[in-house]
Structures are given as C-alpha cells and as structure tokens.
Amino acid sequence: MQTLTIAFVAGARPNFPKIAPMLAALRAYPQVTPLLVHTGQHYDPELSSMFFEDLGISEPDWMLGVGSGSHAQQTAAVMVEFERRCLEQTPDAIVVVGDVNSTVACALVGAKLHIPVVHVEAGLRSGDRTMPEEVNRLVTDTLADLLYTHCYEGDDNLRAEGVADERIHMVGNVMIDSLMKVRDRAEAPDLDPEWIIERGFGLITLHRPALVDNEASLRPILAALGRISESIPLIYPVHPRTLARMKSFGILEEDAEPPLALPGTRVLLTAPIRYLQFLWLMDRARLVVTDSGGIQEETTVLGVPCLTVRENTERAVTCREGTNRLLGVDPAVVEAAAAEVLRAPMPDLDQVPPLWDGNAGERIAEHLVGWLNAKKEAPAG
Ligand code: UD1
C-alpha cells in the first residue's frame, strides 16, 4: 500500500467547515497522512480558531500566519510561505477549497511545483469578474488537476470552458456535511434572550467589499434593515471589515463595541459569532438577509428563507432548488421582499440539491485516495 501525504489548505472562515468532513473521512484510510495548512488569512478567534474547536479540527500542522493586506500582498504572502514549506516537505497532493485568496495562492504554488492540485467546490461561476472570488475561482479551476463540484451546474460551467470530463467529479457539498454533523450540537449565543425568539428574528450577514466599503451603498441598506426591524428584530453579526467601515463613515462612534443596537433601530450588531452558535441562529431565524456565498447553501438545507443582496450569484442552484432569492442591491426591493417573506408561511423543506446529503467528505476521500494511488503506480513518463 502506498503512503500518501495530502495537504488541506484553509485560510478564511468559510474554508473550515469545508475541510473538516474530508479530514474526518480520511481517518478510515490509515495510509493517508493529512497535513493541515492554515494560511492565517483570518486570525481573529471568532473567524478562525473557534471554528476549529466547533468542528473538532486538530491544530494546524503548518501555520503560515500571513494576516491581512491588499489582494496582491495577501496572495503573494501565502504563496511565498506555502512554497517554502512545500519545498521542505513535499505533499503528494494539495487540496484547496472555495474561492478565497488562500485558495488561489496555494493552487498556484502546487501547479508550479508539479504537485497535483485538487479543487473542492469547483465550477461555481457568478459571471462577475469584479468579484475577487470569481477571479480566484477561474484561476484555481484552470490550474487544478481534479475538480470536485457540488452541483451539476458546476460540471456544466467547467465543460463550457473546455475542461475535460475526466477532471470533473460531482461529489456533493462538503459544507453541508459539517452542518448536518453539528446541527444537534448547535448552541444558543450569549445574547439577550428577548432578541432570539424562535422564528421571531431575522439574521443578517453583509460584509462584501462592494456593499460595505462604499458609504453610498452601505447607508441605504442599513436604513432598509432599520425599517425591516420595525416588523421583526434583526441580529447582525458584523465582520471586522464592516465594523471598521461603519466607524469610518460615522454610522457608529469610533469607540463603539458590539453588541449594540444600530442607532434608532431594532438591528442588534454583534461581534462575529462562532460556527455552532451561528448555526443555531440560522436554524431558528424567520429569514436571513445575506451577501455571503455559503449561507445561501446552508439556509437552503435548513429550509429558512434567504434573501441575497447581490446582483448575481454563483449559487443559482439554491434559487432553483432551495429557499434563496436573488434580489439585487436596491434597498427598496430588499425591504419589499422581507415584508413578503414575513407575510408568507415558513417554506416546506421538501427539496435540496442532489448529493447535499452529508456524505460528500466520504465520496471525496474514496475517490481521491484511489486517484492518487493510481497516479503513484502508473509508470513514469
Ligand atoms: C474573505 C474572503 C471572502 C469570504 C470572507 C468570509 C477573499 C478574497 N475574500 O473576505 O470571500 O466571504 O473572507 O469571512 O479571500 N480582518 C480582521 N480579522 C481577521 C481577518 C480579517 O479584522 O481575522 C479584517 C482586516 O481588516 C482585513 C479585512 O478584515 O483587511 C478583510 O479580510 P480579508 O481576509 O482580506 O477578506 P474578507 O473580507 O474577510
């Protein structure tokens, strides 16, 4: 039997629930040594180490510690440090997930060092190259040797770009594996109980640069949230980037510290919330308003109405086969859609996309080990 060392790269908050199920599934393969790489793109405990605790992931083997910076600085810093480590100890494969800067940086290093690169959550396309994540997806998919998709649309997108069928494998959604595994262990966050009545609150996550970095788009959307909160209280865990913008635009005082209500509203701004507690909130919310990628998928599986405040989505499958509605960024449209959701009964949880069943990690582990063994046994040249 061949021994295999496989590097798993995680850098930012949404990556951790994606790698955990693969690491767990690989315990059934004693010939495989997983090498956990944390790039340090996210470093605040609520965005990083607490996810490790909640998902039962062990300490990283390689901690690259790159931190924040411009896109070029951050991507380059990950590349330099990851390349250095790979030259010291060369893994048999590099598995990258999602679409963050750490994903593309490590895919580039692997491709240049001729280490097989595997992309999990491949083939998603928003068609919007002004989104940094779209650029990261395009480059990563071009470089990866193996492309694990989570919906058939991902396969279609890749084929349309000329990717050969043998590189594409639809395996289902690893992030949903994590959700299903920890749903029963989810716990209430430490917030005033009067805010968190079951189905009696809305949950907000808005953090994309296109929305929050611009006062002209952030102020009107916050005003719309304020008006929605006249009907239902809203809980808004705020990403550090968004908090900084709220302060610099004078929406919050310089020394404001969450939790606090957005002035004049029933919108409760909180610090970022760890995975187990965020899941608890999502599972009990009456509606979710978001610009995140993963949350569009999680709400679909939980059967919670999701209003996506973006002009496009790479996850159209959640609109067709789930609870998501793509609204655009007009605050009046968001307000009207929220009112409509609040008038309607909770949707029936009657469908989720194929293979979003909690077993994607196992499918990947089995396929990947077979693929790498075959590669090692194949005659060179
Ligand atoms: C990144 C991902 C985005 C994902 C998001 C999830 C890219 C291009 N973007 O965006 O796709 O939806 O993570 O959370 O990779 N900061 C902290 N503490 C941290 C990390 C960041 O305060 O632990 C602040 C810093 O001011 C930093 C800013 O947040 O400059 C942005 O962080 P960055 O990692 O560049 O991107 P995100 O906005 O977090």
DSSP letter string, 249-265: TTSS-TT--SSEEPTTS
Would the CB of 133 count as within 6 Å of ligand 1?
yes
- Residue 247: phi and psi, rounded to 5, are -75, -45
What is the spatial distance between Cα 284 and Cα 187, in angstroms, rounded to a whole number?
Answer: 11
Domain 184-343 sits in CATH at 3.40.50.2000
Which residues, in sequence order, are CB contacts of 140 under 8 Å at separation 6+?
96, 99, 103, 104, 107, 117, 119, 122
Nearest protein CA to atom 11 of ligand 1, as residue:
100
CA atoms within 13 A on the CB side of 284: 20
Radius of gyration of the chain (CA): 21
Residue with the smallest CA separation from ligand 1 atom 2 is 100
Q: What is the pLDDT of residue 64?
A: 98
Active site residue ranges: 207
Please state, for a pLDDT cut of 90, what percent of the chain lies above it: 94
In the chain, where does the domain assigned CATH 3.40.50.2000 lie? Answer: 4-173+356-377, 184-343
Give Cβ neighbours of residue 168 (< 8 Å, ≥ 6 apart).
122, 123, 147, 149, 154, 155, 158, 159
Q: For the chain, which ranges sit under pLDDT 50?
A: none
Check residue 205 and report its DSSP letter. Answer: E
Mutate to test the pocket of ligand 1, among 42, 78, 205, 297 (most ligand atoms within 8 A of CB): 42
Question: In terms of Cα–Cα distance, which of 201, 191, 173 is closest to 360?
Answer: 173
Question: Which superfamily, per CATH, for 4-173+356-377?
Answer: Glycogen Phosphorylase B; (3.40.50.2000)
Structure tokens belonging to residue 230: 């006249």
- CA dihedral of residues 173, 179, 180, 182 (deg, nearest 10): 150
The ligand 1 atom nearest the CA atom of 136: 8
| Predicted pLDDT at 381 | 55
Distance between CA atoms of residues 184 and 301, nearest Å: 14
| Residue given tokens 């650029």 in the structure block | 135
Q: Are 44 and 61 in contact (CB under 8 A)?
A: no
Q: Which of 142, 139, 98 is nearest to 315 (CA)?
A: 98
